[in-house]
């Protein structure tokens, strides 16, 4: 689920120190991430070996271990990259600060990846993905709230951001489980209407 595969404030999850990799490193990470995701669509996660990922990506073992500890580290790093891209989407696109998260875009993207969602759940990685997502999205929502100039103390701002990130994933679970019972655009509207109703100190 790398940035190339249309598949990373206050939070509950720790984050890596962010350094900007060069283009060659990005290409390598993308190739490895895409290879792992493709393999996950073909077989259970536990059955996948690092060598299979290397063969599919055309990357050497030494290069792999320069970037990752094992396939689990590759998987979560790739997911985190994707979540960070989604979290920064609104700021990059210049959306109004009152829009806290790109719910429509995120849900639409996941709806097109039913097989990968099933593979992630079957792998047992679902809880890890959810925890990582809540942490990433809480940070991005907090930044959006700051941009919207809400009048909240720091602790309340963090708590509100984490709460909204958790609510977002609960809404996603409902939406996927019921096979998209309403358009993603309408879910986006619903999320933001509920979010702003519950935010004290809103502008």
What domains are there in the chain, each with its CATH number? 23-197 (1.10.357.10)
* Residues 6 or more apart in contact with residue 156 via CB below 8 angstroms: 200, 201
Query: pTM of the predicted model, to two decimals?
Result: 0.83
- Tens digit of pLDDT at every position of the chain (203 positions): 544 443 433 333 444 444 556 888 899 999 999 999 999 989 999 999 999 999 999 999 999 999 999 999 999 999 999 999 999 999 999 999 999 999 999 999 999 988 888 888 888 899 999 999 999 999 999 999 999 999 999 999 999 999 999 999 999 999 999 999 999 999 999 999 999 998 876 76
Question: Could you tell me the CA-to-CA distances from 36 to 53, 68, 77, 127, 200 in Å, in that order?
Answer: 6, 13, 12, 19, 43
Helix (H, G, I), strand (E, B) or coil at 149: coil
């Amino acid at each position: 689920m790398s940035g190339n595969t249309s598949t990373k404030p206050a939070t509950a999850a720790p984050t890596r120190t962010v350094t900007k990799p060069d283009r060659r490193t990005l290409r390598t990470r993308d190739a490895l991430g895409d290879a792992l995701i493709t393999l996950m669509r073909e077989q259970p996660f536990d059955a996948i070996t690092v060598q299979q990922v290397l063969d599919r990506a055309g990357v050497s073992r030494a290069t792999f271990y320069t970037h990752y500890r094992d396939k689990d580290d590759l998987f979560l790093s790739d997911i985190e990259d994707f979540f960070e891209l989604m979290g920064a989407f609104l700021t990059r696109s210049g959306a109004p600060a009152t829009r806290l998260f790109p719910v429509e875009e995120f849900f639409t993207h996941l709806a097109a990846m039913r097989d990968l969602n099933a593979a992630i759940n079957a792998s047992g990685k679902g809880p890890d993905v959810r925890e990582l997502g809540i942490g990433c999205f809480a940070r991005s929502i907090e930044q959006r709230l700051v941009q919207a100039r809400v009048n909240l103390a720091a602790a309340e701002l963090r708590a509100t951001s984490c709460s909204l990130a958790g609510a977002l994933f609960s809404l996603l679970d409902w939406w996927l489980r019921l096979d998209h019972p309403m358009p993603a655009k309408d879910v986006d509207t619903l999320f933001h209407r509920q979010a702003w109703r519950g935010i004290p100190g809103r502008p």
